[in-house]
Amino acid sequence: MRRNRRVKILATLGPSSSEQDIIEKLYRSGADVFRINMSHTDHDRLKMLVERIRSVEEKVGRPIGILADLQGPKLRVGTFADGPVMLENGATFTLDADKSGGSVDRVHLPHPEILQALEPGHRLLLDDGKIQLKVLEADRTRAVTEVVVGGKLSDRKGVSVPDSEIATSAMTEKDHKDLIAALDQNVDWVALSFVQRPDDIAEVRKITRGRAGVLAKIEKPQAIGRLDEIIELSDAIMVARGDLGVELPLEQVPGLQKRITRACRRAGKPVVIATQMLESMINAPVPTRAEVSDVATAVFEGADAVMLSAESAAGEFPIEAVSTMDKIAQQVEQDPNYRTIIYAQRTEPEATGADAISAAARQIAETLNLAAVVCYTTSGATGLRASRERPASPVIVLSPVLATARRLSLGWGLHCVVSEDAANEEDMIDRACRISFSEGFAKPGQRIIVTAGVPFGTPGSTNMLRIAFVGNDGQGGI
């Protein structure tokens, strides 16, 4: 079963999409990777969802990726003594360490780390940015603010501090437990929320120890300032436009999306575009024209994956949402402008043998109009290098490691097949030709290009490429 597009679709599971038959329909409609949101999932439910995805994987015979998305620190105000209050523009409002019920003048802020980080002039955004405060004076026990944009404020609404770097980890105690539970279930990716600095990624890496890919969600202004370091330490990146659009002016988000996408492409790391892509499909069977344009922009830009959140998790039309995204992506990738844009963004290969071979394989495949580029990979690094090149020919990744094939299901254009490692060069060519033929990528008489590492079975040693003919029986010949 092969996709007719290169960009991947990441679908979130939830109340609308927890049953095994729905998960299978989502996969068949186009979902390549499933996201489990740990904000709304306990460990028993996580185990159940993973088991159901793995059952679908066995039925369809294709590797499927699973992403566990950690909640991250949730910063909230305390409670009000007499119900919601109305904050008027220009009024003074205090956030403090006093645990008693709040009023129109003050409220408890149960986060001493925020009070320690605030300085005069800093902004505080409450309730997803609907209320904006400016700090007038601050010490370790309270912050006196002016209400810049007022509104109704009720119990436990979220707090964002875009101008302050908070001295707290991106991992809470809950996240730590959730991460261990996700690793126990052999998920393929873990997503870290509210990353501020490279150290946040290093902390997760110490626990995962390579058992899952680490995806950093970019949703804080502080992360933008240290983007290159965060990309370098991560295995993949998500442009989490929801919180990014709360903490930064909305009009900056499209430019940042492009900047992050291109930085990831240069680094050869998968990048996912997320939040509100087909938001109206939560309640409607068709999207708005603007949403179609938004998905198309991410595909034109060369993102590795586009993501559905509530659309597939809690919406009324989860299968239609995936199917719509699939159709948009296919149409964009057939557009004459698509290749021009993808080519224009291509960067020079790194000065390594493996990078040079991946770039050469792409160039040879395009010059000779070959049916497919076939990569042998154990760790997955060769597959991602091939993906970074964004070749016009399909890319088939052959790996003896099921976990590698599942993880690479997030990478642009990668068709992953679990296959034993080649015994020798002849076996390598035969196997590549046979799989290209059986998976529907190459017909008898067509040629493919194969990249691999010699000696076989040595990770990270891509050092050869061969052009091979696919014979009448699908066997290979040089």
Which positions are catalytic? Answer: 35, 76, 217, 275
Q: How far apart are CA 35 and CA 64, in angstroms?
A: 11
For tokens 């400016």, the residue is 134
Nearest to 296 by CA among 328, 324, 326: 328
Could you tell me which residues come within 8 angstroms of residue 455 by beta carbon, excluding any fewer than 6 positions away? 461
Cα dist. 392→242, 266, 386 in Å? Answer: 33, 18, 11
Q: What is the dihedral of CA 27, 30, 35, 41, to 10 degrees?
A: -50
For tokens 């992953």, the residue is 416
- Helical spans, DSSP H, in 61-149: 112-117
Q: How far apart are CA 414 and CA 7, in angstroms?
A: 9
Q: Using DSSP, state whether 146 is helix, strand or coil.
A: strand
| Element holding 477 (H helix, E strand) | strand 476-477
User: By the 8 A CB rule, do 111 and 75 touch?
Assistant: yes
Token pair recorded at residue 11: 């679908």
| Element holding 106 (H helix, E strand) | strand 106-108
Instruction: Provide DSSP, 396-413.
Output: EEEES-HHHHHHGGGSTT
For tokens 């919406």, the residue is 315
Q: Using DSSP, state whether 318 is helix, strand or coil.
A: helix
